Structure 1
C-alpha cells in the first residue's frame, strides 16, 4: 500500500511556557513552511491547548496536543490528547521513570526522550537525560535531532550513535527530529529538519505496533480521516523519515525463495516493519531507496553536487552510491544475512555545512527457522 508522507514538527513551545510566539502565530508560520502537522509540547502545561481547534481551522494546519515533561533528570516528550489523566511529572524521580511512561501509555499517549545528550545545568536545567530506564522497549521514540541545523551539533551526533547502539541491542526504537521551536526568526544559513510520517501503510492501518505491550492503545482509524491516532501510530510504528530537505524512503521487497509462500512473494515492507529471514540463507530480497527532491521545494535548496547515499545495517554500511542532487531511485539485492536492521542515509553539503542530510527509520530483519 502506498504511504502518504506528512511533514511534521514534533517539538514546539508557545508563550504558555518559555517561547516568544502564540499558538496562532506559530501555526501561521508552520503553514508558510508547508508543514502538515505540528505537535504542541509546552513545558509542564497544557494551557496552550485552549483554542486549538479554532487555530487549526483558521490557519489550515493540524495540531497534535502534547507536553514536554521538564524535570531535573531529563525532558520527556509526551504526545496524545489525554497525557495528563494518569501521568504526573511532579511525582517522578530519577529511578521511577518506568512508572511515568506506563502512566502515559495508560492515558493513550506516547512517551519519547527529548535531546538526551544536550548540555544540562546550569545551561539547560534537566536537558541531559539522567533517568534510569528499566524497560527501553516501553519507550515509543527518541529525538535524535534537536534544534536548528541539527546535523552540526555534537549532542545530536551522540544521540544518533546512541540510537544505533540501542538498535544493535535489539531495541526497536523509532527516531525523530524536533526543532524545539521557541521563536520564528532564523537566518538564511539555518537549516530546519522535518520528520515525515508515513500514513496509510499496512502496519499503521492495522495498528501493528512493535510495542505489543500497549498496542491496544492504537485503534483503527479510517484512511480518509488522517487523525491524531493515525499520526501517533505512525510514530510508534517507526513509519518515519527525517530530513533537512529531500524525502528519503526505504522499502524491502520479498523476491521469493523455495520457502516463500505465494502470498509472500512480491510483498513490500516499509520502515517499522519486520522482514522474516530464512536461517538457511535462502531468502532473496530487493531493496529500494527513493530520494524525492520535489517536497517542500520553497523551503530548502541543495547546490549541484554528488551526494552519498548509503544503505546501513547493524553490521555497518551494506551498500553506497553516488547520486546527483535530484530525485532518484536506487535498487539493489544485497545480502542481508546477519543483519538486525536496515536504514538509508543521505550525505552531502547544504548551506555551507557538510554531513548527514537525511535518514530513514529502520526496517527490521528477523531470522526464522
Structure 2
C-alpha cells in the first residue's frame, strides 16, 4: 500500500491568542514554505476557527483544528474536535491530567505534550511539564522538537532522550515537531523542522473522489487528505520529522514464503526459530521542499538506531538514495532512522523517523 507523506506544521498561534499574525497571513507564509497542512493551536481558545474554511479556500492549504491547552503545570497540544465541549483546562490540577486527556479523547481529539522541558516560570508560565501522568498509554504524542533550529536547543535534546526512555520502557508514543509559530520573522541562520504524516494513498484517493479530484489535489494540497486521516497517522505513529530531507523506513520479513513489509509506526513480528529475520531499508528523499534548505558540500551520517543500540551506519552524500541492511534484531524492541549533518552552520541531528516496533515469537497474529 502506497503512503503519501504530508508536510505539516502542528503548533501555531495567531492574533486570537499571543501571536502577531492573522490566520490568513500565517497560511500565506505556510504555502511559501511548501507546507501542505498547518494546525491552528491558539492558547485556550478556538475563536480563530471561525476563519478556517475561508482561509483554506483562499490560500489552498489544509488547516487542522487544534488548541494549546495552556495551564500553570504544562502545555498540552490538542488536535481534532472542539475539546471545549468535554474538557476544561481551568479545572485540571497537577495530579488529574489523566481526566483531562480522557475528556479530550471524548471530544474526538488527540492529546500531546508540548515542549515538556522548555524553561518555565517566570520566562514561560507553565511551559515546563509538571503534570503527573498515571496512564502514559493514553497520551497520543510528544512534541520532542519545539521552535526554530530545534536540534540546537538543550530542552529539545532532553525531550528526545526522554522519548527514547519511554520507548525503552515499552511505551509506543509517537514524536512530532512544532515551530510554536508566533510571527513570520525568522533569522537567516535559523532552520525549521517539518512533521511529515503518512496517509494511505488509497484512502486519500477515496476521500478526493478520484479522477479529476486527484488531479486537482496536485494543485491544492488539501484535497485528497482529510483531517481524520491526519489524526489517524499521528495516532498510529506514521510520522517522520526533518529539517530537510524526508526519511522513510521499512522492514521486510525474510526467511519465509510469505514475506511481509512493515512501515513506520507498525509492529514487525518475527520468529527467529522459524528462520524469520528483518531486512531494513531507509529511503532518504532529498527532493522534498528543496527551495527551503540546502545540505550541499558535505557528507552526512545516516544511522539505524534500536533499543539495544546502533544497528547500522552509513556515510552518505546529500542525494536521494535507499540503504539496506539485514541485521540481527535479537533484543531490539524498536528501530528508527536518524540523519546527522550540518545545516546553516549548525551541526547535529537533522531528521529522524518514528519507530517500527519489533516483537519476537509466533507469526500468528
Regarding TM over 0.5, the answer is: yes
| C-alpha distance in 2 between matches for 1:319 and 1:36 | 32
Instruction: Summarize the Cα distance change of 1:92–1:201 in structure 2 as closer, same or farther, 3 Å threshold.
Output: farther
Measure how far apart 1:75 and its partner are. 0.2
Measure how far apart 1:201 and its partner are. 6.8
Q: The residue matched to 1:333 in structure 2 has which SS?
A: strand
> Quick check: 1:76–1:114 contact (8 Å CA) kept in 2?
yes
Structure 2, gaps ≥5 residues long: 209-223
| C-alpha distance in 2 between matches for 1:3 and 1:253 | 16
Instruction: Summarize the Cα distance change of 1:100–1:146 in structure 2 as closer, same or farther, 3 Å threshold.
Output: same
| C-alpha distance in 2 between matches for 1:279 and 1:87 | 47
> Quick check: 1:303–1:350 contact (8 Å CA) kept in 2?
no
| C-alpha distance in 2 between matches for 1:362 and 1:368 | 19
Q: The residue matched to 1:132 in structure 2 has which SS?
A: coil
Measure how far apart 1:303 and its partner are. 2.6
TM-score by length of 2: 0.93
Match of 1:319 in 2: 312
| C-alpha distance in 1 between matches for 2:201 and 2:262 | 9
| C-alpha distance in 1 between matches for 2:74 and 2:331 | 35
1:298 partnered with 2:291 = yes
Q: The residue matched to 1:51 in structure 2 has which SS?
A: helix
Instruction: State which drifts further: 82-91 or 291-300.
Output: 82-91
Residue correspondence of structure 1 range 118-133 to structure 2 within 5 A: 118-133=118-133
Residue correspondence of structure 1 range 203-218 to structure 2 within 5 A: none
Measure how far apart 1:37 and its partner are. 0.2
RMSD: 1.4
Q: The residue matched to 2:301 in structure 1 has which SS?
A: strand
Instruction: State which drifts further: 158-167 or 332-341.
Output: 332-341
Match of 1:274 in 2: 267
Measure how far apart 1:198 and its partner are. 0.7
CA distances 1:19-76 after superposition (whole Å, capped 9, x unpaired):
0000000000001100000000000000011111010000010000100000000000
Say how many residue pairs are matched.
347
Residue correspondence of structure 1 range 77-226 to structure 2 within 5 A: 77-200=77-200, 222-224=206-208, 225-226=224-225
Match of 1:232 in 2: 231
Q: The residue matched to 1:234 in structure 2 has which SS?
A: helix
TM-score by length of 1: 0.92
Measure how far apart 1:256 and its partner are. 2.9
Structure 1, gaps ≥5 residues long: 206-219
Instruction: State which drifts further: 186-195 or 80-89.
Output: 80-89
Match of 1:255 in 2: 254
| C-alpha distance in 1 between matches for 2:127 and 2:280 | 38
1:330 partnered with 2:323 = yes
Q: The residue matched to 1:133 in structure 2 has which SS?
A: coil
Match of 1:347 in 2: 340
Measure how far apart 1:241 and its partner are. 0.3
Match of 1:7 in 2: 7
| C-alpha distance in 2 between matches for 1:281 and 1:144 | 38
Q: The residue matched to 1:308 in structure 2 has which SS?
A: strand
Runs of 4+, deviation exceeding 4 Å: none
| C-alpha distance in 1 between matches for 2:306 and 2:266 | 15
| C-alpha distance in 1 between matches for 2:71 and 2:272 | 46
Q: The residue matched to 1:155 in structure 2 has which SS?
A: helix
Match of 1:208 in 2: none
Q: The residue matched to 1:235 in structure 2 has which SS?
A: helix
Measure how far apart 1:221 and its partner are. 9.6
> Quick check: 2:197–2:240 contact (8 Å CA) kept in 1?
yes
> Quick check: 2:253–2:270 contact (8 Å CA) kept in 1?
no
| C-alpha distance in 1 between matches for 2:273 and 2:88 | 49
> Quick check: 1:221–1:227 contact (8 Å CA) kept in 2?
no
> Quick check: 1:201–1:270 contact (8 Å CA) kept in 2?
no
> Quick check: 2:279–2:327 contact (8 Å CA) kept in 1?
yes
